Amino acid sequence: KALREEGIKSILVNPNVATIQTSRRIADKVYLEPLTVPTLIDILKMERPDGIMLGFGGQTALNLGVKLYRTGIFDELDIKVLGTPVKGIEITEDRGLFKNRMLEIGVSVPPSKPVYSVGEALAAAEEIGYPVIVRVAYTLGGGGSGVAYTPEELRRIVMTALPQSIGHQVLIEKYLKHWKEIEYEVMRDRKNNCITICALENFDPLGIHTGDSIVVAPTQTLTNREYQILRSAAIKVVRGVWVIGECNIQFGLDPRSEDYVAIEVNARLSRSSALASKATGYPLAYISAKLALGYTLPELLNKVTGVTTACFEPALDYVVVKIPRWDFDKFEGPIDRTLGSQMKSVGEVMSIARSFEEAFQKAARMLDIGLEGIVCNDLDIPLNVVEEELRNPTDRRFYLLPLAMRYGLSIEKIYSMTGIDPWFLYKIKSMIEMEDKLRSMDPQDPTLPEVLKEAKRIGFSDRQIAKCLGLTEDEVRRLRLRYNIRPRAKIVDTMAAEWESQTNYCYMTYGDTEDDVKVKEGKKIIVLGAGCIRIGSSVEFDYCTMHTAWSLKEEGIDEVIVINNNPETVSTDFDMTDKLYFEELSLERVLDIWEYESADAVIVSVGGQTPNTLAKPLAERGVKILGTDAKYIDMAEDRRKFSSLLEKLNIPQPEWIYASSVDAVKSFAKSVGYPILIRPSYVLSGAAMRVVFNDSDVEEYLRLATKVSREHPVVVSKFIYNAKELEVDGVS
């Protein structure tokens, strides 16, 4: 987009056919070829480009760029590296060079030493003192890294880490346990103008990879002095490594003093960059591309305000929370769920609200893992397990915190076990207190309207409130609408309303009393996105969502409205559709937006399983579903209805029964013979689907299937060995 505006033709090399990036609508020419040095050299010789951009394809592109530079092909073909120069990339990626450069420019780093063998690593750790963290050069997602408390642990980590580094180098660094982790996203142009786009506070302390950490923006627990100290250091770092464009800098901050250290720098667009861009509304990738072409920040316009230049630092009048999505439950057997310096998440969600509590609860629901929010989850986990997962964090730790408090653990105790700032813990405690208040109330209580307002302000959904009051979700919705308790539609404008926004980048919140989003007349269609990336649902649905939106515009639809909550996708770029709601893909929130916008219809079929599951409940509440009728979607998704349809149409299928009880399933298995296949309804990529070989496994697998498919039937069928699987795609 940025290149096309300048009349520059772009050539993209990416073998990922599922992403919108390789759509012919995006780049002028696309090579679906392997990302290897020999292949890229062949393409460069064939195309003879004037320049190459290395900072937009993540760690893979950066590593390939350095390797290509070292072959001399750029000099041979007179290809200019646009953006951050290779020497800057090498300094940020090589742990030894990075440490030396930081010390040269006066930025503190943890005590550390680059090493090239296990023996050197053991000697360095003895010198620095245990515990130490192993960091690997030129890797993605903290690959190969880890924390070692003993020489034996260090030996194991280093033996795995060294082969993963381009230069066979790792850094042995002092582990700063329970220090805060703060990230800054910074822009710099060729004339040394610098601005910070966003400061991101990690809910979890140092030691957990930022991709696996809950992240909050703006920072919530820093003093203004701490914020300014780190901001000044971030600008010094960016200038010191000659970044041109966008850069992510990670700091460790001692919670007991103002001491800080620079942990690492990503001289490229990263997952944190995408988050910062969506959190602020500042188009980081677009502006970075312009800076790589030689523009300066004051020369570029902020496309959100249409008035200010790109040299204005964004200001937020809302709170953003990111929670990673893990898919450990997809795997059988003992799984190591502990989180550390190697990233294990597969995706993430982002929520926007006017309070931390509201944003946190919204984000928990967006994960689509069965959570009602941060509270009201009816967890049955013993205290000893909870304490173990607080000390050694897992993907479940954030929603075990309320349970720990209910077991009687104090805020101080939890802080000592987790390193999570007490400010966040007290916010969670306030949610527990609201849950208790709601559970003790009578729906006829005259004070209920005020309590409902406060509950909604701190993120309680209608389902959560219904659970506490003993009502249905629909009854709570009718109740709050009777009291005129509605969410307000707000705009992300990058300038905290100092200038009027020129875009329709929206969210809904109960933390305000006025609407900012203008409702237009005309034909309006809502398109539901896929939510977070997970195993079985990735960027292919981003492709589908965007092509649907573009096709609707070609058919004369006045306004196409997308609802999605994944900061990593093109469909949540504010300028890709007429209106974007960065929101929950829930029945409650889709109804809120549908009613507010007076939309004509909703499309559920291009975002995968999550929106598909909403088809029937939306239709039952009067929402028009475009495409396949909701009752036929239900017939295909509901295993019992689908199997009954096949019988009615005389289409052969394996013998099957509805799993009404464990005994019925065992009796069925006895009659048809093991193995059998347990098949829950309305699930993504075979979640909880299991092949069962004996009676002893039936109960466990049925429990798992009914857990992921609580409101829909589970079917059991005879499993057929050695059968070929064929798929047919049809259009009607």
Question: Residue 272 maps to which CATH number?
Answer: 3.30.470.20
* Same-domain check for residues 349 and 497: no
Predicted local distance difference test score (pLDDT) of residue 661? 82
CATH of the domain at 24: 3.40.50.20
Number of independent structural domains in the chain: 6
* Same-domain check for residues 344 and 375: yes
* Same-domain check for residues 627 and 647: no
User: φ, ψ for residue 689 (rounded to 5)?
Assistant: -80, 130
Q: Does the pLDDT value for residue 688 go beyond 70?
A: no
* Same-domain check for residues 340 and 264: no
> Residue 99 falls within a domain, yes or no?
no
Looking at 105-119, 153-167, 285-299, 444-458, which range is the least confident one?
Answer: 153-167
- Determine whether 167 is exposed, middle or buried from the number of CB atoms within 10 Å of its CB (0-12, 13-18, 19+): middle
Domain boundary among 125, 150, 174: 174
Which residue range is the domain that position 458 belongs to? Answer: 322-482
* Same-domain check for residues 616 and 661: no
Beta strand 347-353 with 319-325 is: antiparallel
Predicted local distance difference test score (pLDDT) of residue 615? 95
Predicted local distance difference test score (pLDDT) of residue 709? 61
- Collect contacts of 688-694 with beta carbons under 8 A, ≥24 apart: 691/719
Q: How far apart are the first and last CA of the chain?
A: 34
Domain boundary among 441, 456, 482: 482
> Residue 703 falls within a domain, yes or no?
yes
Dihedral sign, Cα of residue 385, residue 388, residue 392, residue 397: positive
Predicted local distance difference test score (pLDDT) of residue 142? 66
Q: How far apart are CA 485 and CA 467, in angstroms?
A: 18
- Smallest Cα–Cα separation from 249: which of 136, 82, 92, 91? 92
Predicted local distance difference test score (pLDDT) of residue 256? 93
* Same-domain check for residues 331 and 453: yes
> Residue 723 falls within a domain, yes or no?
no
Q: Does the pLDDT value for residue 360 go beyond 90?
A: yes
* Same-domain check for residues 336 and 475: yes
199 close to 333: Cβ distance less than 8 angstroms: no
220 close to 324: Cβ distance less than 8 angstroms: no
* Same-domain check for residues 329 and 467: yes
Predicted local distance difference test score (pLDDT) of residue 120? 94
Predicted local distance difference test score (pLDDT) of residue 329? 84
* Same-domain check for residues 156 and 290: no
Q: Kindly provide the residue ranges of all beta strands, DSSP E only, lying in 341-446, ordered along the sequence.
A: 347-353
Predicted local distance difference test score (pLDDT) of residue 715? 85
> Residue 98 falls within a domain, yes or no?
no
Highest average pLDDT, of 20-34, 49-63, 157-171, comes from 49-63
* Band of pLDDT at residue 552, cut at 50, 70 and 90: very high
Q: Which amino acid is at 19?
A: T
* Same-domain check for residues 681 and 623: no
Average pLDDT over residues 256-275: 91
Average pLDDT over residues 197-210: 95
Predicted local distance difference test score (pLDDT) of residue 539? 81
* Band of pLDDT at residue 708, cut at 50, 70 and 90: low
Predicted local distance difference test score (pLDDT) of residue 413? 98
* Same-domain check for residues 67 and 27: yes
Q: How far apart are CA 18 and CA 621, in angstroms?
A: 34
* Same-domain check for residues 312 and 335: no
Predicted local distance difference test score (pLDDT) of residue 686? 60
Contacts of 386 (CB under 8 A, 6+ apart): 400, 403, 404, 407
Percent of the chain with pLDDT over 90: 74
Q: How far apart are CA 146 and CA 157, in angstroms?
A: 6
The secondary element (H helix, E strand) that includes residue 488 is strand 488-491
Q: Does the pLDDT value for residue 457 go beyond 90?
A: yes
